[in-house]
Amino acid sequence: MRNLALLQEPKQRKLLFNAGLSWLFDAMDVGLVSFIVAALAVEWSLGAEQIGLLTAINSVGMAVGAAVAGSLADRYGRRDVLVLTLLIFSVASGLSALVTSFAVLCILRFIAGFGLGGELPVASTLVSESVPAKERGRAVVLLESFWAVGWIVAALVAYFIIPDYGWRIAFLISAVPALFALYLRKAIPDSPAFENQTIKKIPFTARMSSVWSIKHRRSTIMLWVLWFTVVFSYYGMFLWLPTVMVLKGFTLVKSFQYVLIITLAQLPGYFTAAYFIEKLGRKFVLVTYLLMTAVSAIWFGLATTEGMLIAAGACLSFFNLGAWGGMYAYTPELYPTQVRSTGVGFAASFGRVGGIIGPYLVGILVARGSSLTYIFVVFFVAIVIGALAVLFLGKETKGIDPDAAADRT
């Protein structure tokens, strides 16, 4: 990874790699669920609404986890909360391999989602605070690129393991991060910004008041709209991707194969975003990549041939995941250290509400016989709204120290 080598300090590269592995495991778990759901739909005869409910419950857990972990990280430190959330989701995922009923699986997916949702904003805040301003955006986008690798691993597990060995083995593989969490506790330091300030003395109510104060209100509104629309569209589209392939007439194995190909396009999406975010700025990357995601969503919904389907899906992966990288880089830069993790956590938490609605809405629409074209038009509109929010309400943060900016206001 040439971009990774651009980080100057070995300790920064080590932090990015270790935090990236935790991100990879998160993505692997989310990705495996999308494939497992497609398999469970056949084995347990699940209806479209049940599939939507299961994926939505996972997002409910992520919404709660993001808010709780974001707040705790501003009080107890980024690293300790990162390790705790990693343990929670990996243990819950491993236990999911033992379930025999849909209800118990839903409960465990809520717990796993809590850990997943909590880990992501805390990890991005930790990395953002641990690198110089001139490398901060690139570093966080590169952290996000591990998400693509996790999805690729999930697609490989789904393609080579689930058809022959079953979905329970896939869930057992998701328990591996528990061992990594024990290593992570000693392998990485907490962020210098957290350790150098008296964050622990600031109560939760004061932090929330600051997030919604006059100087941050515009940014908070913009971020909540952005996170909601991006998470709504991403989870609505990608958690259903293997199932959508089946609905378009492909076999389960063929569906997994196509999703693997589409997923590979995520990596160049991240790497190009990592390049442009320091060259052209955060707003440029977000607005451009979101608008191209919207165009790709319409194209995917209209695709009728295998070639069009793969090409449109690859573009969807490329631009959507590049936008995710930009969003994670941008969000921590809009708040000072004392309230940063709280601001990031609650923006992510509100976004997860979109992650609840998106996949469940798809389930309802599929059950009612709505066309896939109509469903993807819904996502097109949502993504455009997110792009316009950044364009008109967002401010450029490239090269700006959030703490210094806060002191001037």
10-residue mean pLDDT profile of the chain (409 residues): values are 53 84 86 82 82 80 90 87 90 92 93 91 86 82 85 83 87 84 77 65 84 94 97 85 72 70 86 91 96 95 83 93 92 90 92 86 85 91 97 90 59
Residue-wise burial string across 12-38, b where 16 or more C-beta atoms lie within 10 A, e elsewhere: bbebbbbbbbbbbbbbbbbbbbbbbbb
Could you tell me if residue 193 is inside a domain?
A: no
Q: According to the model, what pLDDT value does residue 177 have?
A: 81
Q: According to the model, what pLDDT value does residue 369 have?
A: 84
Q: According to the model, what pLDDT value does residue 57 have?
A: 86
How many angstroms separate the CA atoms of 99 and 116, rounded?
20
Could you tell me if residue 190 is inside a domain?
A: no
List Cα–Cα distances, 369 to 27, 168, 381, in angstroms: 30, 31, 20
22: nearest Cα among 190, 230, 238, 176? 176
- Return the SS3 of 351: helix
Could you tell me if residue 51 is inside a domain?
A: yes
Q: According to the model, what pLDDT value does residue 201 have?
A: 60
Contacts of 335 (CB under 8 A, 6+ apart): 211, 216, 219, 342, 343, 344, 402, 406
Containing structural domain, residue 149? 7-182+204-408
How many angstroms separate the CA atoms of 294 and 233, rounded?
9
How many angstroms separate the CA atoms of 53 and 359, rounded?
8
Domain harbouring 113, CATH code: 1.20.1250.20
Could you tell me if residue 198 is inside a domain?
A: no
How many angstroms separate the CA atoms of 28 and 46, rounded?
23
Q: According to the model, what pLDDT value does residue 8 have?
A: 53
Could you tell me if residue 267 is inside a domain?
A: yes
List Cα–Cα distances, 343 to 65, 256, 340, in angstroms: 14, 37, 5
Q: According to the model, what pLDDT value does residue 88 have?
A: 93
How many angstroms separate the CA atoms of 371 and 364, rounded?
12
- Return the SS3 of 304: coil
Are the beta carbons of 286 and 390 closer than 8 angstroms?
Answer: yes
Could you tell me if residue 301 is inside a domain?
A: yes
Contacts of 42 (CB under 8 A, 6+ apart): 252
Q: How many domains does the chain have?
A: 1
Could you tell me if residue 196 is inside a domain?
A: no
Could you tell me if residue 1 is inside a domain?
A: no
Length of the chain: 409
112: nearest Cα among 178, 29, 19, 173? 29
